[in-house]
Structures are given as C-alpha cells and as structure tokens.
Amino acid sequence: MTGASGPAAGPGRLHHLDATPTTVHWGHFDAARAPVLRVASGELIDVRAVTHRAGDAPELMMDAGIEAIYREVPRSARGPGAHILTGPIHVDGATPGDMLEVRYLQMTPRLRHGSNLAATWGQLFDETGRHERVTIYELDPDGLAARGRYAYDVPDVTAPPGTIVRVPERDRRAALAGVRVPVRPHLGIAGVAPDAPEPVSSIPPGRHGGNVDDRRVGAGTTVFYPVAVPGGLFSVGDPHLAQGDGEVSGTAIEGSLDVRMQLVVRSDLAFPSPLLQTPEDWIVHGFGDDLDAAMRAAALDMLEFLTAVRGLSRQDAYSLMSVAVDFAVTQVVNGTKGVHARIARDVLPPGDV
C-alpha cells in the first residue's frame, strides 16, 4: 500500500528503558518472556543497548550499569546465543500479521571505546595466524572517526561470551597507526520475537530481524518488522560503532549505544522480512545457509516489495531489479548468511509505504 508517508503518529509519551540485569535477556529471543515495558503505538522510547564485548576492555567499555549486567545475569540465563538484548517491549495493538514500524531517531555512543574481535568464526581465521585478536578502538573527540588504541591476542579462545579480560600493559601492542575509521552507529540486532515454542538464538538473523548486521540501521532510518506474536515483543542489542558490509573478521566495532526510537503498529502493511527505509533507499534482506540461498531470498523479497507494496507487475519488477537494484553481502559470519538488495527511492514514483 502506497501513501504519503504512512499513518500519522505523533511523538506521544517518552519512555525510558535502561539496560539492567532485570531488563535484558542474554543470547535469545523468547515469545514466552514477559515484557519489561508496554507502550502505545506512536510513543517514543529512549533505550540503552549494551554490547556483549564490553569485557574485552572493561576499564574503557564498562560503567557501573554495564558492570552490573555482567555481574548479576547468571550464566544459566545466558544463551544459546551471545548477545545482550534490552527488552522485550510490548506495543499495544500489535497482532500477528501486522508490521511494527520502528523509526530510529538517535543513536549515541554510551562510552568512547569499542572492540573488534578477529574470531575463530571469521572468514580468514586460517589466514591470519590462527589466533583470536582483539583490537580496541577509541572515538575521536568529535565522534566522527575511530582510531586503533591497542590490540592483544585473546588468552583463552574457549571462554564463554561475557568473559571479562584484564590484559596487562605488557601484552598490548599498537594497532592501525594513522588509520581513521568512519563512525556509523547502528544496531546489529533488533527484532520482534519469533513465534516459536522455545527461545531462539540471537546469533542467526531471520524473518523476525535479529542479528541482521546491516550498518544502515542507524539514526534517520525506519525498519518494518513482521509481527509474529501479540505485542510484537521488540528487543534491541548488539550495538555497533562501525562495520563494513560482510563483517568478515567476526564482529564490528562493538560498543554500547543509547537509542531513541518510535514504535508504530501498521495493520495496513504486510511484508515477510525486515524492510528498511533510509533517506535515499529501500532495502530488503535475504537470509540463507549459503550466499546463493541468501541472494535468492533477497531477490524474491525485492520482487515482493516492488509488486505487492509498490504496485508493479512481476515482469516490470523483474526487469527493474536487473537494471536498478544493487545486491550486496550484509554479513557472512552468523551461520545464516545475509544479502541485502537496495533500490534508490527516487527510481520509483513518489510515495512511501
């Protein structure tokens, strides 16, 4: 369904959702989990998203609130995935078959440092010394770029997620002298709870969203998620300071973020997977066991977007996809591979969803 800019949704009430040991869930989405916040459609939320890599440099990446999460969430409550998620948030009126429109308004680094892990699951682990390496990045004073502060070899590659590592100065080395990395704060994970009888790992992305790892999910964008359970049960996590498409070493620059967002229930729109609107583009996401499967899934969803949402015939849409849609690898390190397909908004007739 096309329109000027979707349904009107004023700013409404502003809620605050801190990340605490009682408002996070570690490593999973769970349709049976009780919400930690209930909001009406159109209301604003200031939410804190905490990185699961803060233990890589606790003196730089932890404050008292983050330290409490690491200390007080028991190991038995973590898993099967690795990520700390804040939520879930119940949105009044959201029912299966609706879409949850999430307008990301602001994303601000909570602290001035982040961590990148060259992990055993990275694409080139066998080519880079066969050991895990952490690189700590520091934001410039203006917050627009990050620079390598130091790096170290991980002392225990079998340590579980959330391990706190205190590396002596003598084991740190200089890293990336003279290199400036553009800072692009975004959420690696955001999504609704899948309709599943058991908790679902936070590691693979899927139709519910989750660990999509699209660096474009930042301030000024909107993502539409298909609601699978009453209330949606929306959660955010895996905050990133910067990431390249592919995320080939295994992680981004992982760093905690403070996020302002607006949640709007859309009963007038249907789409099978996370649909991203940026100021310039429409982007769909495909997932699969390999890149061929992810590519086909992204192509099918772009065909669905151009036909069911924007009203083109299947033949016209297919032609347009070959001449105006760019396909690229989102990430290759989450087990389930991701491909995104992008079409510039000014290619299509005026109108949003």
Residue by residue, DSSP assigns 150-211 as: EEEE-S-TTPPTT------GGG-B---TT--EEP--EEEEEEPPPS-SS-EESSS-BTTEES
pLDDT digits (tens, 9 = 90+) for 136-151: 999 999 999 999 999 9
pLDDT at res. 1: 31
For residues 208-230, give the mean pLDDT: 98
Q: What is the mean pLDDT of residues 228-243?
A: 98
The Cα 314–Cα 304 span in angstroms is 9
- Residue 24, pLDDT above cutoff 60: yes
Which CATH code of 3.30.565.10, 3.10.28.20, 3.40.50.970, 3.20.20.80 fits the domain covering 280-347? 3.10.28.20
- pLDDT band, very low/low/confident/very high, at 131 (cuts 50, 70, 90): confident
Task: Please determine, for residue 118, whether its predicted confidence score (pLDDT) is greater than 50.
Answer: yes
| Mean pLDDT calculated for residue range 117-143 | 94
Find the mean pLDDT for residues 14-38.
98
296 SS3 class: helix
Q: What is the pLDDT of residue 352?
A: 72
* CB burial string 159-188: b at 16+ within 10 A, e below: eebbeeeebeeeeeeebeeeeebebbbbbb
Per-residue pLDDT reduced to its tens digit, 307-317? 999 999 999 99
pLDDT band (50, 70, 90) for residue 5: very low
Tell me the mean pLDDT in the region 38-67: 98
pLDDT surpassing 90 at residue 346: yes
Would you kindly state where each structural domain of the chain is located, as residue ranges?
Answer: 14-49+66-109+187-198+219-268, 113-182, 280-347
Domain 14-49+66-109+187-198+219-268 -> CATH class: mainly beta
Query: Two tokens at 152?
Result: 């170290």
Q: pLDDT of 247-296, one tens digit each?
A: 999 999 999 999 999 999 999 999 999 999 999 999 999 999 999 999 99
Task: Look up residue 73 and give its DSSP letter.
Answer: S
**Cα(183)–Cα(146) distance, integer angstroms:** 6
Q: What is the pLDDT of residue 7?
A: 54
Mean pLDDT value across residues 69-83: 97
Asked if residue 337 has pLDDT above 90, the reply is yes
Q: Is the pLDDT of residue 10 over 70?
A: no
Share of the chain above pLDDT 90, in %: 92
* Residue 129 binned pLDDT confidence (cut-offs 50, 70, 90): confident
Residue 161's pLDDT is what?
A: 85
CA 347 to CA 23: how far, in whole Å?
42
Indicate the pTM of the whole model: 0.95
> Which tens digits make up the pLDDT trace of 55-66?
999 999 999 999
Question: What number is the average pLDDT over the span 179-200?
Answer: 98
The per-residue pLDDT for 353 is 87
pLDDT of residue 9: 59
- Are 163 and 70 in contact, with CB atoms under 8 Å apart? no
C-beta atoms surrounding 155 within 10 Å: 12
How sure is the predictor about 4, in pLDDT bands with cuts at 50, 70 and 90? very low
Mean pLDDT, rounded, for 183-212: 98
What does the pLDDT average to over 227-247? 98
User: What pLDDT digit, counting tens, does each position of 257-269 carry?
Assistant: 999 999 999 999 9
Residue in this structure with the two tokens 């991980």, named with its chain if needed: 154
pLDDT band at 191 (very low <50, low <70, confident <90, very high): very high
> Residue 11's pLDDT is what?
66
Q: Chain-wide mean pLDDT for the chain?
A: 95
Token representation of residue 342: 């992008």
